[in-house]
Amino acid sequence: MKKKFNTKVIHSGHGPDKETGAVMPPIHLSSTFKQMEPGNFEYEYARTKNPSRDVLEKLLAQIESGDKAFAFASGMSAINTVCDLFGTNYHIVCSDDVYGGTRRLFDKVKSNIDVTYIDFDKNINWNDEIKENTKFIWIETPSNPLMKIIDIKNTVNIASEFKLPVICDNTFASPYNQRPLELGADMVVSSSTKYLGGHSDIVGGSIVIKENKEYAEKISFIQNAVGAVPSPFDCYLLTRSIKTLSVRMKQHNENAIAVSNYLLNHPKIEKVFFPGTDKRHKEIAEKQMDGFGGMMSFVIDSDINGVKTFLKNLNLFTLAESLGGVESLIEHPAIMTHASIDPSIREKLGISETLLRISVGIEDVDDLISDLDQALSKI
């Protein structure tokens, strides 16, 4: 039976435990496993393979409409694995507005990778951007923190002309709102710390791929060789959390629309970045997403002191990095998540000292709007 998404998140990856009938899969904490004879085993060593991780990876593959999934100890370890997958001394094309940690890895750690950053909102002469040693196109949509929406199908069509894979960071959308593999992308990467985990108590990452034996074997090798894998307990927590992904995302989506509408009409807000507000981005989002998500950014019509006054007076929005939890969070990208980016690049991108990013939680939206309203009145 072909299952719909809301059923997949609950019933994929496992059934009742075969030995005990337990409805939820047990947590297998063992670091090593008995072999029937030397070399005859299903499980050998927990870094290589673990029953709790197996359940999670099967679940992730199902909800992303992929063939195979790989779980990691963080989103960055997943991205690092993608980089290692393609070897060394090569070139990539990357959307210009991406998570600060992604830029930090590309620019300051992977010194043997040449990166061309492109604004996908502009007309691009791809013949000028693609090089002989280009290995893939990396996109993040919606983007962090400016919420740019990139047309995934169009990017895939362009990439196919150059026989290049498209890799999409789907963290901000979650598979509830967007499934890049269904749109033609070759690989989807997520920080499972965020919406997949949903409770700000797990750090993790994932790679999900379409059917590709070469990619699967290489990623599995790197996953084992490097060992940046999640613990069995984190795998259990994430499996449990994903079961409520649909109901959580539905509320995130609804609350974010209401909050964005409030901010759009507030005299002290200069600009709002949200997929549902910008006409061009909204058209693309409506084509490839089932909802706009719970993330947005906005510019306060003030200076850094006014921004700090606003932040100090918030009660429900917690000043903290990360996103995607049930609670509402707010952060200052230029000082926090994107501080590692060169100031001149931040300025060019529009990541100013008056830009704030919020992760709209699932609290009562009237309370969230009241909190924003009273804090803005203090400026």
CB atoms under 10 Å from CB of 53, counted, come to 26
- Whether residue 299 is predicted with pLDDT greater than 90 in this model: the reply is yes
Q: What is the mean pLDDT of the chain?
A: 97
**Domain 245-376 in the same topology as domain 5-242:** no
Q: What is the pLDDT of residues 109-126, one digit of tens each?
A: 999 999 999 999 999 999
Catalytic entry in 96, 99, 148, 176: 99
CATH class of 5-242: alpha beta
Told to judge if 169 belongs to the known catalytic residues of this protein, a careful annotator would answer: yes
Where does 245-376 sit in CATH, by number?
A: 3.90.1150.10
What are the start-end ranges of the H helices in 271-317? 279-288, 304-312
Instruction: Please tell me the pTM assigned to this model.
Output: 0.96
Catalytic entry in 96, 169, 186, 278: 169
Told to judge if 312 belongs to the known catalytic residues of this protein, a careful annotator would answer: no
Q: What ranges do the domains of the chain cover?
A: 5-242, 245-376
The mean pLDDT value for 133-148 works out to 98
The mean pLDDT value for 27-44 works out to 94
- Strand residue runs (E) in 203-308: 205-209, 269-273, 295-300
What is the DSSP-derived secondary structure letter of residue 330?
Answer: E
Q: Which two tokens stand for residue 56?
A: 């999670």
Determine if the peptide bond prior to 142 is cis (ω within 30°).
yes
Residue 356 is inside which H or E element, if any?
Answer: strand 355-359
Q: Which two tokens stand for residue 24?
A: 């939820």
- Whether residue 164 is predicted with pLDDT greater than 80 in this model: the reply is yes
Q: Which pLDDT does position 278 carry in this prediction?
A: 83
- Whether residue 277 is predicted with pLDDT greater than 90 in this model: the reply is no
Triad 213, 215, 217: Cα angle to 5°: 65
Residue 318 is inside which H or E element, if any?
Answer: strand 318-319
Alpha-carbon span 144 to 351, nearest angstrom? 10
Closest CA to 96 of 326, 288, 341: 341
Q: What is the pLDDT of residues 214-255, one digit of tens each?
A: 999 999 999 999 999 999 999 999 999 999 999 999 999 999
Enumerate the β-bridge partners of residue 271. 299
Catalytic entry in 135, 194, 210, 346: 194
